[in-house]
Homo-oligomer: A and B are copies of this chain.
Amino acid sequence: MEIDSNRTTLAKTLQNRRQRLAGLIDFPVMLWSGCRMGRNFPANRFPFRASSHFLYFGGLPLERAVIYLNFGKLELFIDDSPPETTLWHGEMPKREEIAEKIGADAAFPLSELSSRGEGVATIAVQDIMTRHQQAEILQRPLGLGNNLSGRDRDLAIAIASLRMYHDPDALAELRQAAAVTVEAHKAGMRATNITNFNIHSPLQKTQTEATIRGAMEGVIIAHNMTCAYNSIVTVHGEVLHNEQYHHSLQPGDLLLADVGAETEMGWAADVTRTWPIIGKFSPTQRDIYNIVLAAHDSCIAKIRPDVEYLDIHLLAASVICQGLVDLGIFRGEVSDLVEMDAHALFFPHGVGHLLGLDVHDMEDLGDLAGYEEGRVRSNRFGLCFLRLNRPLKSGMLVTIEPGFYQVPAILNDPEQRVKYRDIVNWERLAQFGDVRGIRIEDDVLVTEDGCEVLTGGLPTEAEAIEELVN
């Protein structure tokens, strides 16, 4: 854990956040940071990731810490490291130093927590060890995700209403994550060029997805950041959550890379680019790429306060349908096609989601942050995966990530084949066999008069992408 002495604004930022929270609720709150978990033996632990709600109000990735928030006051509960650990881990900041850094009003050892749990609201953390402690201190079971109730639910709604609109300190972090992510993607494109291959290791005989992943994540690590999520770096973009990296890169392949950095304080970026291994899109790849790009650009052009995110999603669906009609893959009127979810044959996910301390921001609260109160997930094939359904407001950060995929599980599904038999020209589609998956994703901040693409430093045009690979 590193306390950045340059960040004199941290205490102020945190004070501001908890005062805004105090304006929304009138009961005390405890937020736990969580602890590390053993990987293959107790001393070999996964890297620590503090709970995002803790980070928002506590500011620092402290292990085994609890903050108690009440009417704008912050009390910190954390144990000082025992002296014998100094040998192994060096001098750690003391409770009082940390308390000062985050502007706590008081600080206590963890043992003082036990008497404080009555009437307190909390959000369950991810690690079960800490979750047991939460239930023990509060002397009640904890709800999770969409099953929050009582004060915990009121707290979650209050926190979501704050975390949804990023303050300057949050934005500064998010911009850093975005900037490093842009560099990581550029490094990935450069590493795809076969003439740059083998500079790092004589052991590799063929270039694989892992080769490119190494180049990209290496940049993120070099900036002392972590990956905000498990990277997708694949020539099989049609597998939406692909976490395999062993395929070798073949000349006709497209590589889809969905890789994002996370700052030390936990703020995330989330970017996808798709590029041709040989540095040149085939005509069919370029046709589809330009449809996805048109959807991407149209959506971003429309983002401004008060626009419904659902409409952005539907716009992406329309642009994709129009493009596929123009290519002769779809038949019919665009509005009819979208109405019957035809877009979801090739674009079976939502156009994006909230982004902040979590890559799917506040998804631990189920749909509470993503969905405006009173709205629920659609059960339509073309809408059910949409993670965000709210009117956009200034200060929100969202991803825009339309895509086109030929997913065998969808396209070979006999039911879909029947349902869409009059709409899809399967022979025409067969000519686009070299397009397995394309996605273009950027991080877009809603501003007062429109939007700003935080990851705009990374090109999207096909020619610019080709240039970076070459």
Contacts and interface: CB of A to CB of B under 8 A. Distances in A.
Contacts of A245: 224
Given A214-B223, A357-B40, A240 B363 contact: no
B42 A49 contact: no
Contacts of A87: 240, 348, 407, 409-410
A208 B224 contact: yes
Given A43-B363, A126-B38, A244-B2, A202 B183 contact: yes
Contact of A42 (B202, B218, B246, B364): B364
Contacts of A407: 87
Contacts of A210: 221-224
B179 A203 contact: yes
Interface residues of A, number: 75
Interface string A351-392: 000000111101110000000000000000000000000000
A127 interface: yes
Interface string A155-185: 0000000000000000000000001100100
B89 A239 contact: yes
Interface in A210-229: 210-211, 213-215, 217-224, 229
Interface in A26-46: 37-46
Given A40-B126, A126-B39, A409-B83, A241 B183 contact: no
Contacts of A91: 408
A242 interface: yes
Contacts of A203: 179-180, 183, 223
Interface string A129-159: 1000000000000000100000000000000
A90 B239 contact: yes
Contacts of A304: none
Interface string A69-93: 0000000000000010011111100
A316 to B, nearest CB: 18
Contacts of A364: 38, 40-42
A350 B210 CA distance: 35
Contacts of A204: 222-223
Number of copies: 2
Contacts of A218: 200, 214-215, 217-219, 221-222
Contacts of A215: 218, 222
Contact of A90 (B45, B236, B348): B236
A221 B266 CA distance: 22
A51 interface: yes
A424 interface: no
A21 interface: no
Nearest to A264: B246
A247 B219 CA distance: 17
A298 interface: no
Interface in A49-68: 49, 51-52
A468 to B, nearest CB: 14
Contacts of A348: 87
A44 B360 contact: yes
Given A38-B127, A41-B364, 16 more contacts: A37-B37, A37-B127, A41-B126, A42-B364, A44-B360, A87-B407, A89-B239, A90-B239, A200-B218, A201-B219, A201-B222, A204-B223, A213-B221, A214-B220, A217-B217, A224-B246
8 contacts: A38-B127, A42-B145, A46-B46, A87-B240, A210-B224, A214-B218, A217-B221, A224-B245
